[in-house]
């Protein structure tokens, strides 16, 4: 991980003034992870301020544990995972 991404990600993930709060709890955000694009760097897991993503320890494919959406109800749609993913494997959108 480059220094800029690390510093920016840490600032956003650890500053409570920056963290958005979802206004409508009835709309579940949509988080799509393209498993075939993911290389298992886990930057998304490290910098998610609400710990929505995690490694699937039960599965081991292509040399790593894939990233899964563990707690979609906690997502605030900050899109930090989407912005920091070097492989563009994550797409986040407002609930449908």
Q: 67 lies in which domain range?
A: 3-93
What is the CATH classification number for the domain harbouring 70? 3.30.70.20
Q: What pLDDT is stored for residue 30 in this prediction? A: 94
Question: pTM for the complete prediction?
Answer: 0.72
Q: What pLDDT is stored for residue 27 in this prediction? A: 77
Instruction: Count other Cβ atoms within 10 Å, centred on residue 27.
Output: 12
Q: What pLDDT is stored for residue 63 in this prediction? A: 92
Q: What pLDDT is stored for residue 2 in this prediction? A: 54
C-alpha distances in Å from residue 39, one per residue of 3, 52, 73, 87, 89: 20, 18, 25, 8, 9
Q: What pLDDT is stored for residue 33 in this prediction? A: 96
Distance between CA atoms of residues 28 and 62, nearest Å: 30
Q: Please, what are the averages of pLDDT over each run of 10 residues along the chain (96 residues)?
A: 56 56 68 94 96 95 94 95 96 85
């Amino acid at each position: 991980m480059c220094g800029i991404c690390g510093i920016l990600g840490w600032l956003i993930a650890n500053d409570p003034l920056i963290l958005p709060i979802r206004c409508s709890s009835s709309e579940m955000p949509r988080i799509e992870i393209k498993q075939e694009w993911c290389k298992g760097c886990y930057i998304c897991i490290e910098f998610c301020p609400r710990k929505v993503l995690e490694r699937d320890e039960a599965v081991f494919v292509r040399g790593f544990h894939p990233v899964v959406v563990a707690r979609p109800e906690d997502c605030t749609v900050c899109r930090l995972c989407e912005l920091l993913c070097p492989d563009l494997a994550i797409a986040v959108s407002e609930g449908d």
